[in-house]
Structure 1
Amino acid sequence: MNNQYFPVVRAKAGEIEALKNLSKLDKNSLERCTPIFEITKLEGKSLEAARKRSNTPFEDYLDARAHQIAEIFRGKHVILDVSQWPIGFSTEGGEQVLSYICNSLIELGVVVCPVIGYDRWEAVEYRETIKSMVLPEKAFYCIRLDSLAIEDLGDVDHLDEIIEDMVLGAGLSEKNTPVLIDIGDVTKLPMQDVMEIVETAYGHMKGLGFEYIIMAASSIPDSIDKAVKDRDSSNLVQRKEMIVWKGFLSANPKASLYFGDYGVRNPRSSDAIATNMNVKIRYTVNNAFFVVRGHSVKGEDGFAQSQKLSKKIVESIHYRGAGFSWGDAKIMQCSLGKLIGSPTNWIAYDTNHHLKTVVGEIHEFTTQLAAVAERA
């Protein structure tokens, strides 16, 4: 039964904290969750600070990310992607980023499964890195079909040529290699267009012999004003990706299509904290996000607005209770004036609640689907 959840998450402090607390308090939910970790690039002020501390800032950064992931996922599967780094980028020791962090994770006992990016395969350095890697036992590669591959579904001969070269070059088994259909930001796409992409990509990859297909997309906008127009108000934002996945499986109950999303972040959202950011809480509910928006942190109450926003969540029909998740407990504490929380804290709280909610939503839906199929 395809009830495993594949969230695409940045290996950043907020998401790591969310997963760590899921691991501590809800091991069953963590078992049903296989993250696709995106290793963000070290750059800007963080790189400047790292260079002052060490002569090997990039290797230190990647080692730290590996240790944080291993603390939660030692002995478990994670899928790993480094597409935010330049293709030819290497560490201070001359090793490609993907192989460096994969080797670090393997040494720490993580069953790491590298992503092969469709958009990168034609680069010689990238192909050779993939071909030279030795995966741990029970690990696998995951092919990521991004917007370029989705465009190439209109020219399937070219797409098939690249996929065939991947299979031969990396020694892949179609039967054991998951394919991620990464639709990305779908905030401006009509639901029907998202469904057509999924149907076309799923059907084509199944026709090539791939049996394990994951879809991922994000309906959360890249700025809060696109989710909630007015300051100090709230709105429900449809999670198109979840609605499409449920619709596809309802029509094709035997399909091996697995669900993934981008948590509570837009794929294109910046990690930089704007000086005039609006305080917000993104609370995941069935098929939607309940988004509560405050106003600029330069205005009244600053970051302490989170206490009023938390109270709105707690008093709403959507709140699941403090015992539902670590994130929900933090929202309750905040509503009672016991904490405020930084932007990174709120990524952690919102993400933790999101992960718990989506794992449950997937399990409930697939269980109902199986029951209907059994009666048919």
Structure 2
Amino acid sequence: MNTQYFPIIRAKSGELEALTFLSKLDKASLARCTPIFEITKLDGKALETARKRSDTPFEKYLDERAHKIAQIFRGKHVIVDVSQWPLDFTTEGGEQVLSFICNRLNELGVLVCPIIGYDRWEVVEYRETITSMTLPDRSFFCIRLDSLAIEDLGDPDHLAEVIEDMVASTGLIESTTPVLIDMGDVTKFSIQEVMELLETAYGQMKTLGFQDIIMSGSSIPDSIEKAVKDRDSTGLVQRKEMIAWKGFLSANPTAKLYFGDYGVRNPRASDNIAPNMNVKIRYTVNNAYFVARGHSVKGEDGYAQSQKLSKIIVNSIHYRQPEFSWGDNKIMQCSLGKIVGSSTNWIAYDTNHHLKSVTSEIYEFALQLAAITERA
């Protein structure tokens, strides 16, 4: 059964806290979760602060990311990508970011699996970084097909040529190398369009000999106004990626297609906290997000709006009870006026509930599919 979940997660404080509490309180869900960590770039004010604290701010930052990941995933597989960093960027010691973070994670006992980005393969520096890497036992590369590769689906000969070069240059074995079909932001796609794209990409990868395919996409918009039009109101946002995955497997129950998404963030969402951001809670439910939107933090009640929004979540038909996850427990505490929470806290609460909810949703769907297939 395809019960493993592959969330694309930024290696930032909120998401890492969500995973930390998942590991402490729900080891069964963590075991069905293999994160694809995007190591975010150190820049802006964070870089200025880091330079005041260290002569090697980039290496210190990457080392800290590695230690936080290892605290949760020592002895387990994680997939790692550094696509946010410039291709020619090196640390203070002259090492490429991908090799640096992978080496540190290996030393810390994590079974780290580097991403090979289709969009970056033709850049010499990037290709040399990948081909010079030696993976330890039980680790593997993962090929990521993003927007450029998706455009190339219309030219299957060129797509095959690039991927065959990856295989030849790195010695990959297609049958044991997973491929991530990353559709990114699918907010402007219909479910039918997502399905058609998925069918095309899956078919072409199978033709090239790949067996394990992961799909990923995000239906959560890049601004709360696009999710819920009116301030101080609620709305449901369809999770098109989940609906398409279920539809594909319902039609192809023996397919080895695994599910991934971007958690509660849009792939293009900024990491910078806007001074007039809207307070919000993104609560994952079956096939959708239930979104409770407040108003600007500069308005009435500021961040304390979260207490009113939490009451809306708790009193809705969607709430799963405080025992369901650490995030649900925090929502209950907030609804009772015991906490407020910062924007980073709410990324953690929402993400923790999302991870628990999606691992459960995948597992329950796989059981249902297996039962239907057995009766057929």
Letter in 2 for 1:318: H
User: Per-residue displacement from partner, 1:239-270 (whole Å, max 9, x unpaired)?
Assistant: 00000000000000010100000000000000
User: Per-residue displacement from partner, 1:264-289 (whole Å, max 9, x unpaired)?
Assistant: 00000001001100000000000000
User: Per-residue displacement from partner, 1:162-184 (whole Å, max 9, x unpaired)?
Assistant: 00000011110000000000000
- Give 1:339's aligned residue: 339
How many Å apart are 1:135 and its aligned residue?
Answer: 1.1
Q: TM-score, normalising length from structure 2?
A: 1.00
- Give 1:87's aligned residue: 87
How many Å apart are 1:137 and its aligned residue?
Answer: 1.1
Instruction: Give SS of 1:104's match.
Output: helix
Alignment partner of 1:273 is 2:270: no
- Give 2:137's aligned residue: 137
Letter in 1 for 2:258: Y
- Give 1:312's aligned residue: 312
Letter in 1 for 2:226: K
User: Per-residue displacement from partner, 1:19-53 (whole Å, max 9, x unpaired)?
Assistant: 00000000000000000000000000100111111
- Give 2:286's aligned residue: 286
* Percent identity over paired residues: 78
Structure 1 distance, partners of 2:81, 2:170, is 16
Structure 1 distance, partners of 2:129, 2:360, is 38
Structure 1 distance, partners of 2:12, 2:106, is 20
- Give 2:226's aligned residue: 226
Structure 1 distance, partners of 2:115, 2:17, is 23
User: Per-residue displacement from partner, 1:52-78 (whole Å, max 9, x unpaired)?
Assistant: 111100000000000000000000000
Instruction: Give SS of 1:255's match.
Output: coil
Structure 1 distance, partners of 2:299, 2:128, is 53
Alignment partner of 1:188 is 2:174: no
Structure 1 distance, partners of 2:308, 2:23, is 29
How many Å apart are 1:374 and its aligned residue?
Answer: 0.7
Instruction: Give SS of 2:6's match.
Output: coil
Matches within 5 A, 1:64-143: 64-143=64-143
Instruction: Give SS of 2:217's match.
Output: strand
Letter in 2 for 1:132: S
Instruction: Give SS of 2:154's match.
Output: coil
Instruction: Give SS of 1:275's match.
Output: coil
Instruction: Give SS of 2:112's match.
Output: strand
Instruction: Give SS of 1:144's match.
Output: strand
Matches within 5 A, 1:1-376: 1-376=1-376
Structure 2 distance, partners of 1:54, 1:31, is 36
Structure 1 distance, partners of 2:261, 2:45, is 29
Query: Where does structure 1 differ by over 4 angstroms across 4 or more consecutive aligned residues?
Result: none
Structure 2 distance, partners of 1:95, 1:292, is 44
Structure 1 distance, partners of 2:282, 2:3, is 24
Structure 2 distance, partners of 1:115, 1:303, is 38
Structure 2 distance, partners of 1:160, 1:211, is 15
Letter in 1 for 2:321: G
Letter in 2 for 1:363: Y
User: Per-residue displacement from partner, 1:80-101 (whole Å, max 9, x unpaired)?
Assistant: 0000001111000000000000
Alignment gaps of 5+ in structure 2: none
Structure 2 distance, partners of 1:374, 1:306, is 46
Letter in 2 for 1:242: M
How many Å apart are 1:310 and its aligned residue?
Answer: 0.2
Letter in 2 for 1:178: P
Instruction: Give SS of 1:153's match.
Output: helix
Instruction: Give SS of 1:319's match.
Output: coil
CA root-mean-square deviation? 0.4
Structure 1 distance, partners of 2:95, 2:156, is 34
Structure 2 distance, partners of 1:13, 1:265, is 14
Letter in 2 for 1:265: R
How many Å apart are 1:156 and its aligned residue?
Answer: 1.0
How many Å apart are 1:157 and its aligned residue?
Answer: 1.1
Letter in 1 for 2:115: V
